[in-house]
Structure 1
Amino acid sequence: KQMLSVLLATAGAVMSLRNFENSFNNNHQRLGLALYGAIWVQALIGFFRPHRGKKERSFWYMVHWMLGTLISLVGIINIYTGLNAYHKRTQRSSGLWTLLFTAEVSFIAIYYLIQDKREYIQKQAVILGNLEPITQDQENVQRQNQKDMLPQQPCGKHNALKNLFD
């Protein structure tokens, strides 16, 4: 999957260089060029991943994760700078595109933030349509059942930080 992303970014860069004026005199073009380089650095770092259990693995993971996060954030910023450059060049409104992109990014951010809590939310006792009050005895039984079902080892997170110290 990741190599396909790098290849698609390369195809986009080639198409941009062939079809558009690329004097690199605006922030959008300069950020895009920096992002393209960072994407290739990220891919190369991925190929030189230390094996699990080696002491370099934690450092490698932190650099790889931070660079990937930075690429994502700067990529989002670059889309806004591109919309702004489009508006300046054509005098056409980019408000609708800005609104749609902001909605998309907001949806993805909210989804990312709640993905780790999804299991917890699903396990809660309150189910819509079944809002009967729980008695003290039922609550004690639920607590005991939860204690019995606790794993012997702590559970890992389900997001990108899961393998930080693997």
Structure 2
Amino acid sequence: MRSLQKLGFFCILLFLVSPVLSSSSQEHVKGASKHKENIHKMISHKLSFEITLHGFLLWASMGFLMPVGLLAIRMSHKVECRRRLRILFYVHALSETLSLLLSTAGAVMSFRNFNNSFNNKHQRLGVGLYGLIWLQALIGIVRPQRGSKGRSMWFLGHWILGTAISLLGVLNIYTGLQAYHEKTSKSIRGWTIIFTVQVCFFTFFYLFQDKWVYIKKQGVVLANESKRSTIDQVVLPREKQKEVAPVESC
């Protein structure tokens, strides 16, 4: 009889306590899932920040500093003042050195924090560019002296490789924007438009400064010819005009 009473008391106690245990267990599961969700959000936010920082470093390196250095050394070909020539050379060297350092920082950041399976164009092109940038830096350091036999071949190779790196760097920025969109599902239209405008500006400036001296010379030649023709018509007689008539250049 007593055993039955104890069994009944134990069943009643278990019936009363079971809801409390069940609610505490559910709260524990909800707390664990919420904690995991917060950790996932923190990881996603950190990964998004690292991807953005990686993209900014590579844009500053490939998309800005490298074209600036290319424009500076291109402008030096038309400069006769030694002081301005030295300034443009230092701008070229400094911008290319900073570009190398920033691209190295972006590459190290990519290897450490991202899943580099090298199954897309952006990662493969990035690895190739990283090797070419260091090769270009070494070529720039071991340049021959001006006037030596190998200077012309060195200059040709340095110019071709530098131009190729700049073009591939711009292409890799576009592929990086596409990879950023696929990774974060964020819109890249605004960044693509801004970068395209920048590329067009650098291209126009490159072509314009290359022809600026030629354009100025064309204006001077035309002005001199017009002035000379006017003087000949006013001062010289017709016989002399025929004798001193300017020969038409090819």
TM-score of the aligned structures, taking structure 1 as reference length: 0.70
Partner SS state of residue 148, structure 2: coil
User: For residues 105-138 of structure 1, what are the alpha-carbon distances to aligned partners after superposition, in whole Å with 9 as ceiling and x for unaligned?
Assistant: 001100111013334556748xxxxxxxxxx999
- The structure carrying a bigger helix percent of its residues is 2
- 2:140 & 2:164 partners in 1: Cα distance? 15
What residue identity is the alignment partner of 1:76? Answer: V
Which of 184, 187, 204 does residue 90 from structure 1 map onto? 184
Which of 205, 223, 226 does residue 139 from structure 1 map onto? 226
1:31: how far off? 0.6
- Number of residues of Structure 1 aligned to a counterpart in Structure 2: 134
Partner SS state of residue 51, structure 1: coil
Query: Per the alignment, do residues 110 and 143 of structure 1 end up closer, same or farther by CA in structure 2, a change over 3 Å counting?
Result: farther
1:93: how far off? 2.2
What is aligned with 1:43?
Answer: 137
What is aligned with 1:26?
Answer: 120
1:20: how far off? 2.1
- 2:158 & 2:152 partners in 1: Cα distance? 10
- 1:46 & 1:20 partners in 2: Cα distance? 31
What residue identity is the alignment partner of 1:91? Answer: S
User: Which ranges of structure 1 fall in alignment gaps of 5 or more residues?
Assistant: 126-135, 145-166
What is aligned with 2:158?
Answer: 64
What is aligned with 2:109?
Answer: 15
- 2:208 & 2:184 partners in 1: Cα distance? 39
1:81: how far off? 0.8
Identity score, percent: 57
- RMSD of aligned C-alpha atoms? 2.7
Query: Per the alignment, do residues 50 and 143 of structure 1 end up closer, same or farther by CA in structure 2, a change over 3 Å counting?
Result: farther
User: For residues 130-152 of structure 1, what are the alpha-carbon distances to aligned partners after superposition, in whole Å with 9 as ceiling and x for unaligned?
Assistant: xxxxxx999325999xxxxxxxx
Q: Which has the larger radius of gyration?
A: 2
User: Which ranges of structure 2 fall in alignment gaps of 5 or more residues?
Assistant: 1-93, 232-250
What is aligned with 2:172?
Answer: 78
1:30: how far off? 0.9
Query: Per the alignment, do residues 52 and 119 of structure 1 end up closer, same or farther by CA in structure 2, a change over 3 Å counting?
Result: closer
Query: Per the alignment, do residues 143 and 92 of structure 1 end up closer, same or farther by CA in structure 2, a change over 3 Å counting?
Result: farther
What is aligned with 1:6?
Answer: 100
What residue identity is the alignment partner of 2:147? Answer: G
What residue identity is the alignment partner of 1:31? Answer: L
TM-score of the aligned structures, taking structure 2 as reference length: 0.48
- 2:147 & 2:225 partners in 1: Cα distance? 45
Partner SS state of residue 115, structure 2: coil
Higher relative contact order (CA 8 A, sep 6+): 1
